[in-house]
Amino acid sequence: MRAVVAAVVFSDLSIRPTERRMVGRVVERYTGESLDEAGVENLLRTARARWGDPLARLGRLAAVLHPRAKRQIVGAAYLVCTADREMHPEESRLLVRIGEALDMAPREVRAAIEEAKGGAPVR
């Protein structure tokens, strides 16, 4: 989850303050762990070095991840993508690639996004 969130933040090559704040909220929403500003900065700084290519990692995990976990990952990615109230083309493409890496059908990705939009906790 953390690696995917970091990948989404960097996908449009600019990191806005709203995206940084959303990272903390998303991590808390989906993991229960609270991240302060320093924790968010540390996550973003170390994500690539620690986890490598998040899409490749998701591809390796897809077969063993529960469908709910897959929905949570897509939902978290969507929330970070839209934190700045814009969906950049790079972010849209990344959401599609995340769904593909997780072996999710397009309708499953759309459903996960709709669930995230609704604000209901994905459990």
Q: How many residues does the chain have?
A: 123
The predicted structure's pLDDT at residue 123: 44
pLDDT of 96 > 70? The answer is: yes
What is the rounded CA–CA span in Å between residue 56 and residue 62? 10
Say which residue the tokens 């290519």 belong to: 53
Residue 30's CB is within 10 A of a number of other CB atoms, namely: 21
Highest mean pLDDT among 3-12, 20-29, 77-86, 108-117: 108-117
Q: Which domains does the chain have, with CATH numbers?
A: 2-118 (1.10.3680.10)
Average confidence (pLDDT) over 33-39: 89
What is the rounded CA–CA span in Å between residue 82 and residue 95? 11
pTM for the full model? 0.75
What is the rounded CA–CA span in Å between residue 110 and residue 104? 10
Any idea what DSSP says for residue 36? Answer: -
pLDDT of 26 > 80? The answer is: yes
